[in-house]
A and B are shown apart, each in its own frame.
Chain A
Amino acid sequence: MTWDSFFEILKHILTTQTGIFSLSYKMVIMWVIGGTFIYLAVVKKYEPLLLLPIGFGIVAVNFPLVPLMGFDPDGKRHLLEIFYHYGVEWEVIPCVIFLGLGAMTDFGPLISNPKSLIVGAGAQLGVFITFIGVLFFGFTLQEAASVGIIGGADGPTTIYLTQKLAPHLLGANALAAYSYMAMVPLIQPPIVRLMTSKEQRKIRMKQLRPVGKLEKTVFPLSTFMVISILIPAVTPLMGMFMLGNFMRESGVVERLSDTAQNALMNIVTIFLGISVGATMAADKFLSLKPLLIFGFGLIDFAVCTVGGVLTVHIMNLFLKDKMNPIIGAAGVSAVPMSARVAQVTGQKEDRHNFLLMHAMGPNLAGVIGSAAAAGMFIAMFG
């Protein structure tokens, strides 16, 4: 064996069996992006349950030659490709997450104050403004619809809609949605202060009426039927949401409800996070569109907050018992973060004003509203 052939073999190994010579600067940029999300999750504790696996997924798929997100030469799927294909592409995970969310949700505040549904509708304003905005930048109708839903601040709905209409934007859309959801405490308070006076922020709302067990049990069934008749396109999401809530409120399947809320939810969260992160390979992500998505996502989120607060102002013109406009900001879903933000913002003006339960109504209405918006997008562009 000569030195030449030895070096030839070594060179072959280094170029084809290690990633050293296939590394590109784009991959390094993606490590930085992934690292930023890991930092936000671990150090800042912003939505760590999702941003941590997403950040790891971003870093993991941006190494050359790693068999994670692609196919073997014989056509076998790689590990993360399997998670992505069966979980996200088949639209299983968003629906299972909605099952868990339904099992975790107490709809009492919404049932006792049904007016808050209108606030949830008003808070979808940004969804439509962004839709037009991104069309000006050359997005197709389907892409614009998928970007528009980011302002609804509902991760599973964003993923479900994007997968149906513009799957190539899944990583950017999901990341923008979860990032802005994590930044609710930073984004919403200045907007709320800008749109309300000190006196308006001090409004104390009438105590909510107690809701009986029977009424809570019937609610998911009737809501499921209404949504399924009016917007069948969103039945997989809303159906699972209402099934989860029905399991919770019926009280006869506590084991199932507990599994949906905890074990199942945790399992699908792991798969969802890593699958979304894995869609962000450098060659797909580093382009103008994801940057625009992040920019418009922020505008979308801000306009949705404005829409919610504005809706409460308009409703107050007709209501005898005024609503505190702060709770309008909770009309973007982001459950329960935006309701908590409303509570904290309200207590800065009046320490004895408890808005949390009042804000939970618009907050839950926002979940239904953004799912309804998604259903209409799917019906029109799907």
Chain B
Amino acid sequence: MMRNGNTTRALAMAAALLLAAVLVSAAAPPAVFAQPEEGAVAAPASGQAVHSTQSAMEAKKDLQRGDEGFWSYAISTLIIRFVGIFMVLGILQAIIQIQGRIFGAYEARKKAAAAAKAS
């Protein structure tokens, strides 16, 4: 019962994290999916390395203190990153929990089969 509760919580959390990821992606599409801006070099569709496009973000990363929008850019990247870390590690946690369930069930079945064979 307890394990079922944990699994439900883990799945609910994974779903919430995926939903959050989708929402974030919708707000700021990653370079590989975004339409390249005029004059920009399009990101490669495939390949070993994905080079970022000349986007508005590219220009902002070189903002200097005192420039307009410097602090709002710094604070917004900060919030995205802090939430992002929780999302990435949260997704990893959900995957490890699911893996644990799968391997737990596999081990239990193997043990049961061995016990049946012995008896």
Contact = CB atoms under 8 A, between A and B. Distances in A.
B95 A138 contact: no
Given A117-B90, A369-B89, A380-B57, A135 B65 contact: yes
Interface in A167-221: 212, 214-215, 218-219
Contact of B93 (A114, A131, A215, A219): A114
A124 B99 contact: no
B61 A226 contact: no
A111 B73 CA distance: 37
B89 A222 contact: no
A373 B62 CA distance: 19
18 contacts: A110-B96, A114-B96, A115-B93, A118-B86, A132-B74, A132-B78, A141-B73, A214-B103, A215-B99, A219-B96, A223-B92, A227-B92, A230-B88, A365-B89, A372-B88, A372-B89, A380-B57, A381-B61
Given A141-B61, A141-B63, A114 B100 contact: yes
Interface string A104-128: 0000001110110110111011001
B82 interface: yes
Contacts, number: 97
Nearest to B13: A118
B96 A117 contact: yes
A10 to B, nearest CB: 52
A376 B81 contact: yes
Contacts of B65: 135, 138, 140
Given A141-B63, A369-B85, A118 B77 contact: no
B97 interface: yes
Q: How big is the B interface, by class?
A: 20 to 34
Interface string A366-382: 00110011001101110
What's the interface size class on A, roughly? 35 or more
List 10 A-B pairs, minimum CB-CB distance, nearest first.
Answer: A114-B96, A215-B103, A117-B89, A114-B93, A121-B89, A117-B93, A376-B81, A121-B86, A121-B85, A381-B61
B92 A128 contact: no
Contacts of B37: none
A131 to B, nearest CB: 6
A104 B13 CA distance: 31
Nearest to B82: A128
Interface of B: 50, 52, 57, 61-65, 73-75, 77-78, 80-82, 84-86, 88-93, 95-97, 99-100, 103, 106-107
Nearest to B79: A128
A65 B11 CA distance: 64
Contact of A114 (B52, B78, B97, B103): B97
Contacts of A381: 61
B77 to A, nearest CB: 5
B50 A232 contact: yes
A231 interface: yes
A380 B61 contact: yes
Contacts of A128: 78, 81-82
Given A215-B103, A380-B57, A373 B96 contact: no
Contacts of B100: 111-112, 114, 215
Given A219-B99, A226-B92, A372-B89, A377 B75 contact: no
Contact of A118 (B80, B84, B93): B93
Nearest to B102: A215
A380 B81 contact: yes
A33 B74 CA distance: 34
A117 B92 contact: yes
A103 to B, nearest CB: 20
Nearest to B94: A114
